[in-house]
């Protein structure tokens, strides 16, 4: 007999878009829109220069350097 498993609804969804064909080009970035139950939490933009975060109600991206981003990952 197989065990019965229930599928849970995903907690978060992520939409991804790429601004340019070549990520090495100036201004090119990978953009992630983070959502929880269809409510927008924020946007993450990853490029050569660093990691950028903009909250749902934010007007501007906050830049986080790769070193600082790595430190935060280590603490989590």
Rounded Cα gap, residues 42 and 29, in angstroms: 16
The two tokens of residue 43 are: 């946007």
Domains in the chain: boundaries: 12-75
In this predicted model, what pLDDT tens digit does every residue of 31-61 receive, in sequence order?
888 888 878 889 988 877 788 889 988 889 8
pLDDT at 5 over 60: yes
For the whole model, what pTM was predicted?
Answer: 0.60
In this predicted model, what pLDDT tens digit does every residue of 56-75 receive, in sequence order?
888 898 888 878 888 888 88
> Which stretch of DSSP H or E encloses residue 63?
strand 62-64
């Amino acid at each position: 007999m197989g065990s019965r498993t229930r599928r849970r609804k995903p907690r978060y969804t992520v939409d991804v878009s790429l601004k340019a064909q070549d990520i090495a080009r100036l201004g090119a970035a990978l953009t992630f829109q983070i959502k929880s139950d269809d409510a927008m939490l924020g946007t993450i933009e990853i490029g050569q220069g660093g990691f950028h975060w903009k909250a749902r109600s934010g007007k501007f991206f906050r830049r986080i350097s790769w070193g600082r981003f790595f430190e935060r990952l280590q603490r989590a």
